[in-house]
Amino acid sequence: MKAFLLAGCLAVSSLALSASAEARTLRVAMGTDAVSFDPIATSDNGSIWTQLLIYDTLIRPDKAGTGLEPGLAKSWTVSPDGLTLTFQLRDAKFSDGAPVTPQDVEYSLRRAASEKSDWGRFFRPITGFKIQGDHEIVMTLDKPFTPAFNNLALFSAAILPKAKLEAEGDAFFEHPVGSGPFVLKQWSRGSKIVLAANPNYWQAGKPGIEGAELDIVAEGAARVLKLEAGESDLILDPPLNQMKALEAKDGISVGQVVPYRSDFVMLNTTKPPFDQEKVRQALNYAVDKEGLIKGVLYGAGKVAATAMPAMAYADPGLEPYPYDPAKAKALLAEAGLGNGFSTTMLVNSSNAAHRNVAVALQAMLGAVGVKIDIQMIEGGTMWETTKAGNYETALSFATSDTIDPDQLIGFLAVNPERANAYHTQWKNEQLNALYAEERSTVDGDKRGQQFQEMIRLFKEGAPDIFLYHPASAWAVHDDVKGFEILPTSNFRLEDVTFAD
């Protein structure tokens, strides 16, 4: 869920694209590289977004982010008790021409559920597999696990070729084979990912381009320069203060969407004074979120009530913390900190928006007596530092990889869980109990009530300073058609074409 940059170069193939292919290759400038092409060993956006271009899952979120649609499975049935999932596979091939079989599905999902998987807890409730013929697989659960079906749309449930992966082991991920729209041709770490169209892709007529070059350009301003110079056809996350200027240029179009994403300041609740709920709440009252959106995001965002995006089961009546510096000072005084305190804030050095937000937060919190020392840090190092608990506060964000809130509430607010309330170490036993109940609740209305109560407890506990849901933006040359960022923050380059 976070982005990392690594140095070095891995040449996957020396195959050079022909001049004609170059003419129809989409050149994309983006700020985040992949870390790995192993779907069970990564959680950063650079890896996730690229893997979804190479691999397929049985099902996937639709473009509206409100339902699930066929992937490698052309149809399915779910028993009323949720304990039996039956999938009919389409005739599909991997990029090397081998057919996608039910055996590949079982192998991939058992691997995703294994102890070596970072995502195993999402798939272990599926305890049985039965293969019926060449195109049907039946999965069974011993007890209800409501997110089971939706979790099969996670990138970590990617279907991989069993025989090839067993033969090659981890070396497979240096030149991965999938059934998705593209094939990895080259990966220069920290510099470029080169993709070619998969000639065996099951969607007729797609991809609409012969390949894509994903150039890793950390600075947003540098991405804009590449677009203006004609060195890129498409750029992701241009600086928001340049969007109007880009839109005014002949031959360039811009777009933006508010995906399932939230930005916030993580508070290490094991370190005083962040172990006090009143202090954490005070910091939320001290921040003018509307001001941040207007001044730093140029209006491209929405105020956040918590770090959970407004997705399925969201409570429209849940109000954000209002901007109330007087209330913030009063709570600090009640916590014995009437004279304020000093702390440090980690900020990803390559995130221009976060650099500006940090300066604004420094002034806002300073107004209530909280002195912030901003410490710039590289993104990958920041992840490892916060994970180890070696921080006081950190400006961060999270995105949802699914349309079901189960994944993200577990990541952000449940402890113990894989991220222990996203490295804040905050713990609420009532929320934990509701999380366990929600995962076995078949009734949708009741499950929705459980999510809303969890999110209310999350807001009250305030393990983060909840900021905003920012827009994700892009800019393209006018001859690029069909690009969009989905609510899950990824994009489908197979839908992109060049105008004649």
391-424: pLDDT as tens digits: 999 999 999 999 999 999 999 999 998 789 999 9
Element (H, E) at 59: strand 59-61
Residues 6+ away with beta carbon under 8 Å from 244: none
Residue 273 CA to residue 334 CA, distance in Å, equals 12
- Identify residue 176 by its one-letter amino acid code: P
pTM score: 0.88
pLDDT at 352: 85
Do 201 and 23 touch, CB atoms closer than 8 A? no
pLDDT at 234: 98
Residue 200 CA to residue 195 CA, distance in Å, equals 14
- Identify residue 466 by its one-letter amino acid code: F
pLDDT at 23: 43
**In the structure, how many helices (H) and strands (E) does the chain have?**
15, 21
Element (H, E) at 393: strand 393-399
Residue 211 CA to residue 481 CA, distance in Å, equals 15
- Identify residue 484 by its one-letter amino acid code: E
- List residues bridging with 61 in a β-sheet: 68
Distance of CA 448 to the CA centre of its chain: 22
Q: What is the pLDDT of residues 443-484, one digit of tens each?
A: 899 999 999 999 999 999 999 999 999 999 999 999 999 999
Do 394 and 464 touch, CB atoms closer than 8 A? no
Query: Residue length, the chain?
Result: 500
Which positions of the chain have pLDDT values less than 50? Answer: 1-23
Do 263 and 205 touch, CB atoms closer than 8 A? no
Q: What angle do CA 280, 285, 290 make, to 5 degrees?
A: 130
DSSP conformational letter for 471: P
Structure tokens at 229: 């110079």
Tell me the HSE value of 107 on the side-chain side, using a 13 A CA sphere.
13
25-30 vs 211-216, strand pairing mode: parallel
pLDDT at 9: 38
